[in-house]
Structure 1
Amino acid sequence: MRPCIEKLYYETGLHIGHVDIMRHAAWELIFITRGEVHVEIAGRSYDAIAPCMIFISNYEPHVLTVRSEVYERYVMLVNPTITKNVLRPTFLQTVFSIHAPRFCHVLPLETGTALDEMQMLFRNLLNEREIDPEDGEGELIWLSALLWRLYRLAPGRFTSVGGSAEKIVAAIRTELENHPERKLDLNSLAAANYISSYYLSHVFHRVTGYTIKRYLLLCRISLACMLLSEGNKTVAQVAVACGFTDASNFSRYFREITGMTPWEYRKIGETS
């Protein structure tokens, strides 16, 4: 099994005023153990004070500015494609994937047992990767344990499956995330779940905070970020592969969501 985690490291020694301008095709989890940063994620601003976690999806541009003399953190980059295929239950992925409009990216942690457990889980993940960097199975066990612990601490950061409406929405979210290139047919989605298109639109917005059309757009941009980072396709080919009818529309929506053009995004990936 290929590892889900692309990078995992512990970092110290960043000075006051250090700025990270981060854009990448991976899901990101930052665990701040000491210090403070100001972080801007997809147009929202936070003052993140240790100990805390920061959850960032791959389509969300983000800038971190160090605000303290001492600053230490773990940084984890998770491959969305691999993780979607192997991480179960799937709702554990939702802390990373398409975030609701009111999603709070920063999770403060209390000192004590919860903090000790988080540090232990991150150390175990680092140890697992040092022992065998290619062993995705052992890594997945510790990643699952970490996400389960986070779910117990903050279930509101995850989209869990409860009643029948939530199950329908979860199934449609999975379909949109796995096949964003497909043309949206609201009537067919509704008929497949034995509900009206009006009710489907209503319940989807209630659960996710997005219209189905907007959610699909975010899924397409998320896929585009991954394809652009791979560098195997032209921008026009990426547009088609993500379900856009032309490169012009793709570029316009991509810039709206990520804050840069597809060409600028690819250039950053090539130089990072």
Structure 2
Amino acid sequence: MIKRVCLLILILFLIPLATHAAWWHERGWPRSWSDADWTSARILPESTAEPEAVVHVLAARVGRWRGIVAHHSWIVLKHAGATRYQRYDVVGWGNPVRTNHREADARWFGNEPSILFSMRGPDAQALIPRIEAAIAAYPHAAFGSYAAWPGPNSNTFVSYLATRVPQLAGALLPTALGKDFRADGWFNGSLFAGFAPSRSGLQLSLLGALGVTVAWIEGIEINFLGLVAGLDIRRPALKLPGWGRIGLSPA
């Protein structure tokens, strides 16, 4: 039995992670924060070009070797008639929750972002007050509360928003390390058993580092030390540590 478990861990987690680590190392990365490109990737239209309300969830690989395993996620909002996007992320220095500390679609440590979720028009306008209320209620907003592993981090933040606004749940990547860190669990938050963020299935999570999720939106996910392997049936894709989704985009 132990040999089978070890073999499963090797196949599902260690081999994909090792191959992605080799590819990421060959790709290279900026030597320091100041050497990295943090400018707009120009993947969102100019805010003044869209008079309607919009909601976007974006993600980009994190910096240096950590990009082997994880993305950084954030959310962008714009009320109908507004002339500027509002970007919200959680960062690892100072007060965690930040507003507009980068351009809405800026690269993260030189890495190009992807748009994981978009909604426009009246439907987006209806979501924005709920999202803003969830941002204000984020339970890990105190100075020093950030933890890169297993959370709470930037992906915990977007996952928390999705628990309050389930329409966002499809945008969570398997490489969103920290997304399974749930503040509303038992035993001082260390163990969570209940609905997945989308409320389309169930999730069991121990400190965000071990667990399983079975849901229509999130798919089937096994979390081992924050690494996620699984399968998305709704939008067919494999989920592999390091590589993330191999198949259709999440939303």
Q: Which has the higher strand share?
A: 2
User: Structure with the greater relative contact order (CA < 8 A, sep ≥ 6): 1 or 2?
Assistant: 1
Rg comparison, structure with higher value: 1
**How high is the TM-score relative to the length of structure 2?**
0.27
Q: Which has the higher helix share?
A: 1
**How high is the TM-score relative to the length of structure 1?**
0.26
